[in-house]
Structure formats: structure tokens, C-alpha cells
Amino acid sequence: MPQRRVVTGRSQEPRQRFAEELRHLRAERAVSLRELAEELGWDASNFGKMESGRSLGSPEIVEALDQYYGTPGLLLALWELAVGDPSQFKEQYRRYMMLEAEAVALWQYSVSRPPGLLQTAGYVREALTAGGLVDEELDQQIEARIGRRGVLEGPDAPHFRVILFEGVLRNSLRDPQDWRAQLEYLAETARRPNITLHVLPFGTGLHGLDSTDTMFLRLSDGRTVAYAENDVRGELIEESGKVERLHRTYDDVRDLALTPAESRTFILRMLEEAPCEPST
């Protein structure tokens, strides 16, 4: 196979390419970071972090830059590629992330936290901070995780069925406002036509997924793979017999759960009970 010809000489890595394009466009315009900030209304440090690759920024900032530089849609497209790039995640998850992007249907059982695809920025920040991430790495991982939600959006989005153990809805965040935002987001997504949400209440007894977060992905070639994760390790399961046995266990758990309508009512009741202000 002939070697791929390099046309621009710029990085082929999505995040780095996005940062390079931002630096190139500002150099062409011959403006400083301070002048750019004054023109667009964001702090200069935001643009500095984006140009150095430490942050991807928000879609609002990127759209404003597209308009300012006269590159309609170009920067936003590069931003979307950078946000969705599986290389932002740790090596053990990369193959799973690539398969998730190809999936035509997804099923998940969550033991203690909302699925990553349904987490708000506030939830992600507290979860990652508890895991020890700080500063630029923290911001990058928040952007990457929130970017994953795009998998469930758009006209061709896959169907997603999720079962939440009640403990997910009881283990609140430290910030009451962030926790309310997470509950509201779950209630909102439960109304989407491509998302089916079940709550598995306390008192339903022991079952085969008691301590294991489990995700199933049906791929476009008809195969189904599974990813099972507990507190210490995660495993991508592709052998069809093992996947089938695990899926039967998932179906058994679903039979114990509340219906989608009952589940949404359950979440709305949790919202009514949730505190609005920090306790004193």
C-alpha cells in the first residue's frame, strides 16, 4: 500500500489538530489573545487553553470563533471530532469507546452511578474529582465524557435501554443544585423516544448483576458485545456464548424493575424530595 501523502503537515490527532487550527487562524488575523477576548467577550485564558490543547472549550465559544474567523462550521466540526476522539480515554476503554460509537442499540444496568451517557457536567466533575483528577486533565475528561452524549442525539441515534438501581438515585452529590440538575436530566431523557429508563427499587432481592455495571452494544454487523465493570476492573466480552448468558441475566433484572412510566414518576418524586440549598 502506498504511503499516505501528508498534505498540510499538521497533526492527524483530532485534539491537537483543533488547537493548531485555532493558532493558525489567529496568526492569520494577526490579533492577540487579549484582542480576541475583547472582541468575543470570553476571558483570554479560555482561548489560550484551547490553543495549547489543554481545553476544548464549549460549542458556544467555538461557534463564535467560526463566525469571527469566517470559517462557518469548520472549527465546530474539528471540535466535534476532538470531543469524540476515543484517544482521550484511558487505554483500557478505547476499544469499548470505538464500538460504542458504532452501536445501533445499547442496554445498560447501573449499580451506583448514572450511565456515563446520561451524566451531567456537575456529576462528572464531582465523580472525577473524587477519583483524583485536577486542573487540565480534569477539564479534558469532563469535556470528553460530556461529548459522549452525542451518541444518543440526532435522527440516527441508537436506542438506549437503561436500568438504574435505586441506589443510583439515593447517592446524591455534595452540591444540591448539581444533584437536582442530574435528576432533572434523567427525567428529561426518559421522555426521549430512543431512551427507555427503568428503576430497580430496593427490596427486589438478589440477582446476577448485584455488583456489576453492565453495558451491551449491538453493532451494525449484528453482533452483540458486552462490557462488565466492578470497582476494580472492567472486561470487554465478545464471545457470543458469554454475552448471551449475561444478556439473559440482564433480562431477568429488567423483569424486576419498574415500568418506564413508573420509573419516571419515581425520579420526579426524588426531585420533590431533593434539597434545594446546601445544609447548614
Q: Which helix (H) or strand (E) holds 202?
A: none
Q: How does the average pLDDT of the chain come out, rounded?
A: 86
Grid cell listed for 67: 463566525
Q: Which pLDDT score is estimated for 6?
A: 44
More confident residue, 155 or 86: 155
- 138-187 confidence digits (pLDDT tens): 887 788 788 878 889 888 899 999 999 999 999 999 999 999 999 999 99
Grid cell listed for 210: 448485584
Decide if 160 contacts 217 (C-beta within 8 A).
no
Q: Measured in Å, how far apart are the chain's first and last C-alpha atoms? A: 67
**pLDDT score of 94 more than 80:** no
Grid cell listed for 113: 452511578
Burial status of residue 240 (CB atoms within 10 A of its CB: 0-12, 13-18, 19 or more): exposed
Rounded Cα distance between 184 and 245, Å, is 34
Percent residues over pLDDT 90 in the chain: 52
Decide if 118 contacts 181 (C-beta within 8 A).
no
Q: Specify the range with the lowest mean pLDDT, choosing from 38-47, 209-218, 244-253.
A: 38-47
Q: Where are the alpha helices (DSSP H) in the chain?
A: 14-29, 33-40, 44-52, 59-69, 74-83, 91-102, 121-130, 135-147, 166-170, 176-189, 240-256, 260-273
Q: Which pLDDT score is estimated for 274?
A: 81
Nearest to 56 by CA among 117, 120, 143, 119: 143
Decide if 215 contacts 206 (C-beta within 8 A).
no
Rounded Cα distance between 171 and 178, Å, is 13
CB-side neighbour CA atoms (13 Å) of 229: 17
- 221-265 confidence digits (pLDDT tens): 899 999 998 766 778 888 999 999 999 999 999 999 999 999 999
- 9-38 confidence digits (pLDDT tens): 566 688 889 999 999 999 999 999 999 999
**pLDDT score of 81 more than 90:** no
Q: Which pLDDT score is estimated for 45?
A: 84
Range 72-91 average pLDDT: 73
Q: Which pLDDT score is estimated for 86?
A: 59
Burial status of residue 260 (CB atoms within 10 A of its CB: 0-12, 13-18, 19 or more): middle
